[in-house]
Amino acid sequence: MPMNTVFVTGASGFIGRHAVAELAARDCRIRCLVRRTSSVRHLTKIGAELHCGDVVEPDGLTEAIAGSDVVLHLAGFRFAYKSSDLMRVNTDGTWNVARACAAQNNPPVLVVVSSVAAAGPAPSGMMRTEADPAAPVSNYGRSKRGGELAAEAWADKVPTTILRPGVVFGPWNRETFPIFHSIATLGVHAVPTFAPPPLSLIHVEDLVQLMLQAAENGTRIQMDSLDARPATRPPGYYFASAPEYPNYAQFGRMVARALGRRHVFVWHIAEPLPWILGGIIETIGRLRHRLEALNVDKMREATVPSWASSVQAATEDLGFAPACSLQERLHQTADWYRTRGWL
Protein backbone atom coordinates (compact mmCIF):
# COMPACT_ATOMS: atom_id res chain seq x y z
CA MET A 1 0.00 0.00 0.00
CA PRO A 2 1.70 3.28 -1.12
CA MET A 3 1.85 5.98 1.53
CA ASN A 4 3.04 8.95 -0.50
CA THR A 5 0.38 11.44 0.54
CA VAL A 6 -1.09 11.24 4.02
CA PHE A 7 -3.93 13.38 5.34
CA VAL A 8 -3.92 13.81 9.11
CA THR A 9 -6.69 15.15 11.32
CA GLY A 10 -5.73 16.14 14.88
CA ALA A 11 -2.13 16.86 13.79
CA SER A 12 -1.90 19.77 16.22
CA GLY A 13 -2.58 17.45 19.17
CA PHE A 14 -0.31 15.27 21.26
CA ILE A 15 -0.42 12.06 19.16
CA GLY A 16 -0.76 13.95 15.88
CA ARG A 17 2.45 15.86 16.55
CA HIS A 18 4.38 12.59 16.79
CA ALA A 19 2.59 11.09 13.79
CA VAL A 20 3.51 13.94 11.46
CA ALA A 21 7.12 13.91 12.69
CA GLU A 22 7.39 10.24 11.70
CA LEU A 23 5.68 10.86 8.35
CA ALA A 24 8.15 13.68 7.66
CA ALA A 25 11.03 11.33 8.50
CA ARG A 26 9.58 8.92 5.91
CA ASP A 27 9.42 11.70 3.29
CA CYS A 28 5.66 11.55 2.94
CA ARG A 29 3.68 14.46 1.60
CA ILE A 30 1.69 15.56 4.65
CA ARG A 31 -1.62 17.38 4.63
CA CYS A 32 -3.26 18.37 7.88
CA LEU A 33 -6.75 19.47 8.80
CA VAL A 34 -6.35 22.28 11.32
CA ARG A 35 -8.69 24.72 12.98
CA ARG A 36 -8.18 28.47 12.94
CA THR A 37 -7.18 28.26 16.60
CA SER A 38 -4.86 25.22 16.26
CA SER A 39 -1.22 25.54 17.15
CA VAL A 40 0.59 24.80 13.87
CA ARG A 41 4.19 25.94 14.26
CA HIS A 42 5.52 22.37 14.31
CA LEU A 43 3.47 21.60 11.20
CA THR A 44 4.67 24.52 9.11
CA LYS A 45 8.24 23.76 10.23
CA ILE A 46 8.13 20.33 8.60
CA GLY A 47 6.44 21.68 5.48
CA ALA A 48 3.00 20.14 6.01
CA GLU A 49 0.16 21.54 3.89
CA LEU A 50 -2.51 23.01 6.10
CA HIS A 51 -6.22 22.80 5.32
CA CYS A 52 -8.35 24.97 7.52
CA GLY A 53 -11.53 23.21 8.58
CA ASP A 54 -13.32 21.28 11.24
CA VAL A 55 -14.44 17.65 11.40
CA VAL A 56 -17.90 18.76 12.47
CA GLU A 57 -18.27 20.82 9.31
CA PRO A 58 -18.29 18.42 6.37
CA ASP A 59 -17.95 21.15 3.72
CA GLY A 60 -14.47 21.15 2.30
CA LEU A 61 -13.41 17.79 3.77
CA THR A 62 -13.88 15.91 0.48
CA GLU A 63 -11.72 18.43 -1.35
CA ALA A 64 -9.06 18.47 1.37
CA ILE A 65 -8.73 14.66 1.31
CA ALA A 66 -8.63 14.38 -2.51
CA GLY A 67 -5.49 12.62 -3.76
CA SER A 68 -4.50 11.20 -0.36
CA ASP A 69 -3.37 7.56 -0.12
CA VAL A 70 -4.00 7.36 3.61
CA VAL A 71 -6.10 9.31 6.10
CA LEU A 72 -5.06 9.18 9.76
CA HIS A 73 -8.06 10.35 11.74
CA LEU A 74 -6.97 11.52 15.18
CA ALA A 75 -9.11 14.60 15.75
CA GLY A 76 -11.26 14.16 18.80
CA PHE A 77 -12.19 15.35 22.25
CA ARG A 78 -10.60 13.48 25.15
CA PHE A 79 -13.08 15.06 27.53
CA ALA A 80 -15.98 17.47 27.52
CA TYR A 81 -18.60 18.18 30.13
CA LYS A 82 -21.52 17.67 27.76
CA SER A 83 -21.87 14.25 26.20
CA SER A 84 -23.44 15.99 23.18
CA ASP A 85 -20.09 17.75 22.57
CA LEU A 86 -18.26 14.41 22.72
CA MET A 87 -20.75 12.86 20.30
CA ARG A 88 -20.58 15.81 17.90
CA VAL A 89 -16.81 15.63 17.53
CA ASN A 90 -15.96 11.97 18.16
CA THR A 91 -18.98 10.34 16.51
CA ASP A 92 -20.31 12.82 13.94
CA GLY A 93 -16.77 14.06 13.14
CA THR A 94 -15.66 10.51 12.29
CA TRP A 95 -18.79 10.07 10.16
CA ASN A 96 -17.88 13.21 8.20
CA VAL A 97 -14.27 12.11 7.66
CA ALA A 98 -15.30 8.58 6.57
CA ARG A 99 -17.96 9.99 4.24
CA ALA A 100 -15.42 12.37 2.68
CA CYS A 101 -13.12 9.37 2.10
CA ALA A 102 -16.00 7.44 0.49
CA ALA A 103 -16.67 10.36 -1.85
CA GLN A 104 -13.24 9.96 -3.50
CA ASN A 105 -12.94 8.16 -6.86
CA ASN A 106 -10.18 6.10 -5.32
CA PRO A 107 -10.91 6.08 -1.56
CA PRO A 108 -7.85 6.26 0.68
CA VAL A 109 -7.08 3.84 3.50
CA LEU A 110 -8.68 5.27 6.63
CA VAL A 111 -7.06 4.62 10.01
CA VAL A 112 -9.30 5.76 12.86
CA VAL A 113 -7.69 6.25 16.24
CA SER A 114 -10.43 5.18 18.61
CA SER A 115 -9.83 4.10 22.21
CA VAL A 116 -9.93 1.15 24.55
CA ALA A 117 -12.75 3.14 26.19
CA ALA A 118 -14.90 2.43 23.11
CA ALA A 119 -14.58 -1.29 23.78
CA GLY A 120 -15.18 -0.94 27.50
CA PRO A 121 -13.49 -2.65 30.43
CA ALA A 122 -12.75 -6.35 30.91
CA PRO A 123 -13.98 -8.43 33.85
CA SER A 124 -11.56 -8.71 36.76
CA GLY A 125 -8.49 -10.82 35.92
CA MET A 126 -9.45 -10.96 32.24
CA MET A 127 -8.15 -9.28 29.13
CA ARG A 128 -10.32 -7.75 26.42
CA THR A 129 -9.94 -9.02 22.86
CA GLU A 130 -11.30 -7.57 19.64
CA ALA A 131 -13.91 -10.36 19.55
CA ASP A 132 -15.64 -9.11 22.72
CA PRO A 133 -18.75 -7.02 22.09
CA ALA A 134 -18.26 -3.34 22.87
CA ALA A 135 -19.67 -2.15 26.19
CA PRO A 136 -18.35 1.34 26.95
CA VAL A 137 -18.97 2.73 30.46
CA SER A 138 -18.28 6.45 30.00
CA ASN A 139 -19.68 9.19 27.81
CA TYR A 140 -16.25 9.45 26.21
CA GLY A 141 -16.22 5.70 25.50
CA ARG A 142 -19.73 5.83 24.02
CA SER A 143 -18.75 8.74 21.76
CA LYS A 144 -15.64 6.85 20.55
CA ARG A 145 -17.73 3.71 19.95
CA GLY A 146 -20.11 5.94 17.99
CA GLY A 147 -17.10 6.96 15.88
CA GLU A 148 -16.22 3.32 15.24
CA LEU A 149 -19.78 2.58 14.11
CA ALA A 150 -19.75 5.69 11.91
CA ALA A 151 -16.55 4.44 10.22
CA GLU A 152 -18.08 0.97 9.84
CA ALA A 153 -21.04 2.52 8.00
CA TRP A 154 -18.71 3.58 5.15
CA ALA A 155 -16.38 0.58 5.28
CA ASP A 156 -17.88 -1.07 2.20
CA LYS A 157 -16.41 1.82 0.19
CA VAL A 158 -13.40 2.82 2.31
CA PRO A 159 -10.64 0.40 3.41
CA THR A 160 -10.83 1.09 7.14
CA THR A 161 -8.80 0.03 10.16
CA ILE A 162 -9.61 1.04 13.72
CA LEU A 163 -7.02 1.25 16.49
CA ARG A 164 -7.99 1.24 20.15
CA PRO A 165 -5.12 2.63 22.24
CA GLY A 166 -5.08 2.54 26.00
CA VAL A 167 -3.48 5.43 27.90
CA VAL A 168 -0.94 7.08 25.60
CA PHE A 169 2.07 8.76 27.22
CA GLY A 170 5.36 10.31 26.13
CA PRO A 171 6.88 13.69 25.25
CA TRP A 172 4.43 16.61 25.08
CA ASN A 173 1.73 14.68 26.95
CA ARG A 174 -0.13 16.86 29.44
CA GLU A 175 -2.60 14.28 30.70
CA THR A 176 -0.16 11.90 32.38
CA PHE A 177 2.19 14.75 33.30
CA PRO A 178 0.39 15.49 36.62
CA ILE A 179 1.28 11.95 37.75
CA PHE A 180 4.97 12.61 37.09
CA HIS A 181 4.71 16.05 38.66
CA SER A 182 2.98 14.88 41.85
CA ILE A 183 5.50 12.08 42.37
CA ALA A 184 8.52 14.25 41.51
CA THR A 185 7.52 17.17 43.71
CA LEU A 186 5.46 15.64 46.56
CA GLY A 187 6.39 11.96 46.41
CA VAL A 188 2.65 11.18 46.36
CA HIS A 189 0.61 9.12 43.93
CA ALA A 190 -3.15 9.36 44.49
CA VAL A 191 -5.11 6.28 43.43
CA PRO A 192 -8.89 6.38 43.22
CA THR A 193 -10.17 3.11 44.79
CA PHE A 194 -8.44 0.30 46.68
CA ALA A 195 -8.68 -2.00 43.67
CA PRO A 196 -7.25 -0.01 40.76
CA PRO A 197 -7.74 -1.67 37.37
CA PRO A 198 -4.83 -3.04 35.34
CA LEU A 199 -4.17 -0.53 32.55
CA SER A 200 -3.39 -0.70 28.88
CA LEU A 201 -0.58 1.78 28.28
CA ILE A 202 1.37 2.66 25.16
CA HIS A 203 4.21 5.07 24.44
CA VAL A 204 3.24 7.54 21.73
CA GLU A 205 6.11 6.53 19.41
CA ASP A 206 5.10 2.87 19.61
CA LEU A 207 1.53 3.89 18.81
CA VAL A 208 2.67 5.87 15.77
CA GLN A 209 4.60 2.85 14.46
CA LEU A 210 1.48 0.73 14.93
CA MET A 211 -0.68 3.32 13.16
CA LEU A 212 1.61 3.26 10.14
CA GLN A 213 1.84 -0.55 10.18
CA ALA A 214 -1.97 -0.62 10.27
CA ALA A 215 -2.15 1.82 7.35
CA GLU A 216 0.26 -0.26 5.28
CA ASN A 217 -0.69 -3.82 6.14
CA GLY A 218 -3.65 -3.84 8.52
CA THR A 219 -6.73 -5.93 7.95
CA ARG A 220 -9.76 -3.84 7.01
CA ILE A 221 -13.26 -3.82 8.40
CA GLN A 222 -15.54 -6.28 6.61
CA MET A 223 -19.14 -5.71 7.47
CA ASP A 224 -20.24 -9.24 6.55
CA SER A 225 -17.71 -10.76 8.98
CA LEU A 226 -18.97 -8.48 11.77
CA ASP A 227 -22.55 -9.64 11.16
CA ALA A 228 -21.90 -13.30 10.44
CA ARG A 229 -19.53 -14.47 13.15
CA PRO A 230 -19.68 -12.04 16.04
CA ALA A 231 -17.64 -14.29 18.36
CA THR A 232 -14.53 -14.36 16.15
CA ARG A 233 -11.91 -11.62 15.93
CA PRO A 234 -13.28 -9.01 13.50
CA PRO A 235 -10.81 -7.87 10.85
CA GLY A 236 -10.00 -4.18 10.92
CA TYR A 237 -9.85 -3.76 14.71
CA TYR A 238 -6.66 -3.66 16.81
CA PHE A 239 -6.06 -2.84 20.44
CA ALA A 240 -2.91 -0.77 20.95
CA SER A 241 -1.02 -1.37 24.16
CA ALA A 242 2.30 -2.50 25.56
CA PRO A 243 2.02 -6.16 26.57
CA GLU A 244 2.45 -5.15 30.25
CA TYR A 245 -0.53 -4.25 32.40
CA PRO A 246 0.40 -2.51 35.67
CA ASN A 247 -2.51 -1.23 37.70
CA TYR A 248 -2.67 2.47 38.52
CA ALA A 249 -0.85 2.01 41.86
CA GLN A 250 1.94 -0.05 40.22
CA PHE A 251 2.12 2.52 37.43
CA GLY A 252 2.86 5.21 40.05
CA ARG A 253 5.72 3.10 41.42
CA MET A 254 7.10 2.68 37.90
CA VAL A 255 6.93 6.44 37.35
CA ALA A 256 8.73 6.94 40.68
CA ARG A 257 11.53 4.59 39.50
CA ALA A 258 11.70 6.48 36.22
CA LEU A 259 12.13 9.71 38.18
CA GLY A 260 14.81 8.16 40.35
CA ARG A 261 12.70 8.37 43.52
CA ARG A 262 13.21 5.51 45.94
CA HIS A 263 9.96 6.05 47.79
CA VAL A 264 6.51 7.11 46.74
CA PHE A 265 3.46 7.28 48.96
CA VAL A 266 0.65 5.49 47.13
CA TRP A 267 -2.47 7.10 48.53
CA HIS A 268 -5.52 4.90 47.92
CA ILE A 269 -8.62 7.07 48.16
CA ALA A 270 -11.64 5.06 49.27
CA GLU A 271 -14.91 5.38 47.40
CA PRO A 272 -17.06 7.44 47.34
CA LEU A 273 -14.46 10.18 47.98
CA PRO A 274 -12.97 10.06 44.43
CA TRP A 275 -16.47 10.58 43.01
CA ILE A 276 -17.06 13.52 45.33
CA LEU A 277 -13.68 15.03 44.39
CA GLY A 278 -14.36 14.44 40.67
CA GLY A 279 -17.74 16.18 41.08
CA ILE A 280 -16.23 19.15 42.92
CA ILE A 281 -13.39 19.57 40.40
CA GLU A 282 -15.85 19.29 37.53
CA THR A 283 -18.20 21.87 39.08
CA ILE A 284 -15.35 24.33 39.59
CA GLY A 285 -14.19 23.68 36.02
CA ARG A 286 -17.70 24.33 34.67
CA LEU A 287 -17.95 27.60 36.63
CA ARG A 288 -14.55 28.71 35.31
CA HIS A 289 -15.34 27.45 31.79
CA ARG A 290 -12.24 25.30 31.97
CA LEU A 291 -12.06 21.62 31.11
CA GLU A 292 -10.51 19.53 33.87
CA ALA A 293 -9.09 16.07 33.10
CA LEU A 294 -10.40 14.81 36.45
CA ASN A 295 -14.17 14.73 36.24
CA VAL A 296 -17.12 12.44 36.87
CA ASP A 297 -16.85 10.75 33.45
CA LYS A 298 -13.19 9.88 34.10
CA MET A 299 -14.21 8.43 37.48
CA ARG A 300 -16.53 6.07 35.61
CA GLU A 301 -13.42 4.80 33.81
CA ALA A 302 -11.17 4.76 36.89
CA THR A 303 -13.42 2.47 38.92
CA VAL A 304 -13.82 -0.54 36.59
CA PRO A 305 -12.27 -4.01 37.13
CA SER A 306 -9.75 -3.98 34.26
CA TRP A 307 -8.58 -2.05 31.21
CA ALA A 308 -6.19 -4.79 30.07
CA SER A 309 -6.50 -5.37 26.32
CA SER A 310 -4.84 -8.10 24.29
CA VAL A 311 -2.34 -7.06 21.61
CA GLN A 312 -2.22 -10.52 20.09
CA ALA A 313 -4.00 -9.33 16.91
CA ALA A 314 -1.57 -6.46 16.33
CA THR A 315 1.38 -8.72 17.07
CA GLU A 316 0.23 -11.56 14.79
CA ASP A 317 -1.07 -9.48 11.86
CA LEU A 318 1.35 -6.56 11.92
CA GLY A 319 4.41 -7.79 13.80
CA PHE A 320 3.80 -5.04 16.35
CA ALA A 321 6.19 -4.89 19.31
CA PRO A 322 7.04 -1.82 21.39
CA ALA A 323 10.62 -0.64 20.85
CA CYS A 324 11.44 -1.18 24.54
CA SER A 325 9.87 -1.94 27.90
CA LEU A 326 7.29 0.25 29.61
CA GLN A 327 9.82 1.08 32.33
CA GLU A 328 12.37 2.29 29.77
CA ARG A 329 9.67 4.32 28.02
CA LEU A 330 8.77 5.95 31.35
CA HIS A 331 12.47 6.76 31.93
CA GLN A 332 12.63 8.42 28.51
CA THR A 333 9.47 10.39 29.24
CA ALA A 334 10.71 11.54 32.66
CA ASP A 335 14.00 12.62 31.04
CA TRP A 336 12.07 14.56 28.39
CA TYR A 337 9.97 16.37 31.02
CA ARG A 338 13.17 17.29 32.88
CA THR A 339 15.10 18.40 29.81
CA ARG A 340 12.20 20.59 28.70
CA GLY A 341 11.92 22.12 32.15
CA TRP A 342 8.44 20.74 32.78
CA LEU A 343 9.75 19.14 35.97
Ligand X SMILES: NC(=O)c1ccc[n+]([C@@H]2O[C@H](COP(=O)([O-])OP(=O)(O)OC[C@H]3O[C@@H](n4cnc5c(N)ncnc54)[C@H](OP(=O)(O)O)[C@@H]3O)[C@@H](O)[C@H]2O)c1
Among 6, 8, 15, 190, binds ligand X (CB under 6 A): 15
Of the two residues 145 and 233, which places its CB atom closer to ligand X in the complex?
145
In contact, 180 and 290? CB cutoff 8 Å: no
Among 10, 107, 146, 196, binds ligand X (CB under 6 A): 10
Residue 211 binds to ligand X (criterion: CB under 6 A): no
Q: In Å, what is the CA distance from 128 to each residue of 149, 203, 273, 326?
A: 19, 19, 28, 20
Among 52, 56, 149, 186, binds ligand X (CB under 6 A): 56
Q: 3-state DSSP call for residue 81?
A: coil
Among 68, 91, 96, 115, binds ligand X (CB under 6 A): 115
Ramachandran region, residue 217 (left: φ > 0; alpha: ψ -120 to 50; beta: rest): alpha
Q: In Å, what is the CA distance from 31 to each residue of 8, 70, 306?
A: 6, 10, 37
What number of other Cβ atoms are within 10 A of residue 191's Cβ?
19
Residue 55 binds to ligand X (criterion: CB under 6 A): yes
The stretch near ligand X (CB under 6 A) out of 70-78, 191-199, 231-239, 265-273 is 70-78
Shortest distance, position 306 Cβ to ligand X, whole Å: 16
Of the two residues 16 and 196, which places its CB atom closer to ligand X in the complex?
16
Shortest distance, position 48 Cβ to ligand X, whole Å: 12
Shortest distance, position 34 Cβ to ligand X, whole Å: 6
Among 28, 76, 132, 197, binds ligand X (CB under 6 A): 76
Q: What are phi and psi of 155, to 5 degrees?
A: -70, -15
Residue 161 binds to ligand X (criterion: CB under 6 A): no
Residue 78 binds to ligand X (criterion: CB under 6 A): yes
Of the two residues 59 and 262, which places its CB atom closer to ligand X in the complex?
59
The residue nearest ligand X at its CB is 13
The stretch near ligand X (CB under 6 A) out of 160-168, 217-225, 244-252, 303-311 is 160-168
Among 14, 238, 245, 320, binds ligand X (CB under 6 A): 14
Count interface residues toward ligand X (CB under 6 A). 27
Q: Residue 52: in which H helix or E strand, if any?
A: strand 49-52
Residue 139 binds to ligand X (criterion: CB under 6 A): no
Residue 13 binds to ligand X (criterion: CB under 6 A): yes
Among 210, 240, 259, smallest CA distance to 312 is for 240
Beta bridge partners of 267: 190
Distance CA 204, CA 51 (A): 24
Q: Residue 17: in which H helix or E strand, if any?
A: helix 14-25
Residue 167 binds to ligand X (criterion: CB under 6 A): yes
Distance CA 102, CA 334 (A): 42
Instruction: Compute the C-alpha angle 86/92/96, nearest 5°.
Output: 140
* Nearest-10 crossing angle of helices 177-186, 248-258: 60
Residue 42 binds to ligand X (criterion: CB under 6 A): no
* Binding site residues, ligand X, CB under 6 A: 9-10, 12-16, 33, 35, 37-39, 54-56, 74-78, 89, 93, 113, 115, 165, 167-168
